[in-house]
Amino acid sequence: MDKLVIHGGNPLMGEVCISGAKNAAVAVLPATLLVDGTCRLENIPKIKDVLLICDILRSLGAKVTLEDDGAVEIDALALTYKSAPYELVGKMRASYYLIGAMLGRFNKAEVAMPGGCDLGPRPIDQHQKGFEALGAKTVVENGVIYAETEKLVGGNVYLDIVSVGATMNIMLAAVLAQGNTVIENAAKEPHIVDLANFLNAMGANIKGAGTDIIKIKGVSKLHGGVYSIIPDQIEAGTFMVAAAATRGDVLIKNVIPKHLESISSKLIEMGVTVEEFDDSVRVSCGKDKKLNPISVKTLPYPGFPTDMQPQMSVLLSVTKGTSMVSENVWDSRFQYVDELKRMGADIKVEGRVAVIEGVDTLSGAPVRSTDLRAGAGMVIAALIAKGTTEIYALHHIDRGYENMEGKFRALGADIERVSE
């Protein structure tokens, strides 16, 4: 079992380059199942979730080659219909994109659903509603979702809840369906637009991605090609908050500043300096600068991302005054608060709201990463804490951050991974 050992107190200084977006990669990789030809995907992050999807695609019969420069080549032509193996699929929640992709390619899909969730219930009723609008019958039985139809035919879907996963999954099922599909109340996250751009680059006809209404005209086939994934909004945001929290000065490169606006604007409201350039942002905060407490509400894009909530709460935990954080996407995303309290934070959680009284400093302690972004929050907490923090359960962090400790170390953090 690995742990991170962090001696806090060093301000982060220098430059960091952001990797490709996890939540785009985990959708674009399964999308290659729909393509008649070879796809070369560039800027794919080297993270566990990506390796797992590549293994799943291989187990289904696709040829997958990972190259040293971060590109992945996939040829799924030889694929024949199979159910996705539970040992692999069960490890990863984003494996639900296989349903849309398999349904689009074979008119049927059988995918084991992962079990319980770190963030609260994770229903897939909106995904099912979408597949059914395209003519598929779906059923969840014994932990497996089955979807099947003679022929997919475009249809209209109004999502009851703005869901990233449902929006992308319906897009995957609809690109090769006969006729037109309209998704209303669609999610607008950057990775939705990235998936649409990838599919369009391979010959699909998708309009409106990034708005509430996505229109998809079915095409008869997709062709191979080269596509580069967008930079990771949340990895960039994590380094932005870490730079501010450690009172550092960091140039965060390979980002799309527009995707970071909700994060930048909250940091600016607190008094942090954020400068935007074409494809980088610089975040700096002097040691003696008094920061302001704020209110943060997580919302679907372009609102403040739920995936930045733990990292932001850590910064607010050492910001004098009372801050309020309300979580409006997931039922249970404050599990990390108990770990943070063990480091001296003063936070009260009531349902989906956390009231944070800023303390002068945190103190190092052994803590656990309770999920991926909570793990990122614990790392930031450790970087600012007095003394030594040991962070356990790193498999969460490894799922979604490429070389996190190496990147922080290059910025001057005293951070080491130790195998026990």
Pairing of strands 322-326, 295-297: parallel
Cβ neighbours for 201, distance < 8 A, ≥ 6 positions apart: 225, 227
301 vs 358, beta carbon nearer ligand EPZ = 301
The residue to which tokens 């209110």 are assigned: 295
Q: Considering CB under 6 A, how many residues would be counted as binding ligand EPZ?
A: 23
Question: What mask, x for binding ligand EPZ by CB under 6 A, covers residues 311 to 350?
Answer: ------------------xx--------------------
Catalytic residue (one of 17, 39, 54, 117): 117
What is the nearest approach in angstroms of ligand EPZ to the Cβ of residue 23? 3
Question: What mask, x for binding ligand EPZ by CB under 6 A, covers residues 196 to 235?
Answer: ----------------------------------------
Both structure tokens of 239: 């380094």
Cβ neighbours for 374, distance < 8 A, ≥ 6 positions apart: 118, 310, 335, 336, 339, 396
- Enter the DSSP assignment of 250: E
Q: Does 26 bind ligand EPZ (CB under 6 A)?
A: yes
In angstroms, the CA 328 to CA 135 distance is 32
39 is catalytic: no
Question: Which SS3 state, helix, strand or coil, does residue 420 take?
Answer: coil
What is the nearest approach in angstroms of ligand EPZ to the Cβ of residue 403? 17
Using alpha carbons only, what angle is made at residue 401 by residues 42 and 70, rounded to the nearest 5 degrees? 20
Using alpha carbons only, what angle is made at residue 237 by residues 231 and 238, rounded to the nearest 5 degrees? 110
In angstroms, the CA 128 to CA 45 distance is 29
161 vs 268, beta carbon nearer ligand EPZ = 161
**How many C-beta neighbours within 10 Å does residue 104 have?**
26
Query: Is residue 152 exposed (0-12), middle (13-18) or buried (19+ Cβ within 10 Å)?
Result: buried
Q: Are 237 and 311 in contact (CB under 8 A)?
A: yes
14 vs 123, beta carbon nearer ligand EPZ = 123
The residue to which tokens 């026990």 are assigned: 420
What is the nearest approach in angstroms of ligand EPZ to the Cβ of residue 372? 4
H helix runs in 113-205, sequence order:
125-133, 164-174, 190-201
Question: What mask, x for binding ligand EPZ by CB under 6 A, covers residues 86 to 115?
Answer: --------x---------------------
In angstroms, the CA 85 to CA 114 distance is 11
What is the nearest approach in angstroms of ligand EPZ to the Cβ of residue 292? 26
Q: Does 282 bind ligand EPZ (CB under 6 A)?
A: no
What is the nearest approach in angstroms of ligand EPZ to the Cβ of residue 223? 26
26 vs 76, beta carbon nearer ligand EPZ = 26
Using alpha carbons only, what angle is made at residue 255 by residues 204 and 29, rounded to the nearest 5 degrees? 35
What is the nearest approach in angstroms of ligand EPZ to the Cβ of residue 309? 9
| H or E, element range at 140 | strand 137-141
Q: Does 181 bind ligand EPZ (CB under 6 A)?
A: no
What is the nearest approach in angstroms of ligand EPZ to the Cβ of residue 55? 17
Q: Does 126 bind ligand EPZ (CB under 6 A)?
A: yes
Q: Which of 11, 135, 155, 165 touches ligand EPZ by CB under 6 A? A: 165
Q: Which of 34, 145, 164, 415 touches ligand EPZ by CB under 6 A? A: 164
Question: Which SS3 state, helix, strand or coil, does residue 324 take?
Answer: strand
123 vs 286, beta carbon nearer ligand EPZ = 123
Length of the chain: 420
Q: Please, which of residues 343-382 interact with ligand EPZ by CB under 6 A?
A: 372-373
What is the nearest approach in angstroms of ligand EPZ to the Cβ of residue 293? 25
| Residue with the CB atom nearest ligand EPZ in the bound state | 165
264 vs 370, beta carbon nearer ligand EPZ = 370
In angstroms, the CA 15 to CA 408 distance is 10
Give the interface with ligand EPZ as residue ranges (CB under 6 A).
23, 26, 94, 121-127, 161, 163-166, 187, 306-307, 329-330, 372-373, 400
Residues annotated as catalytic are 117
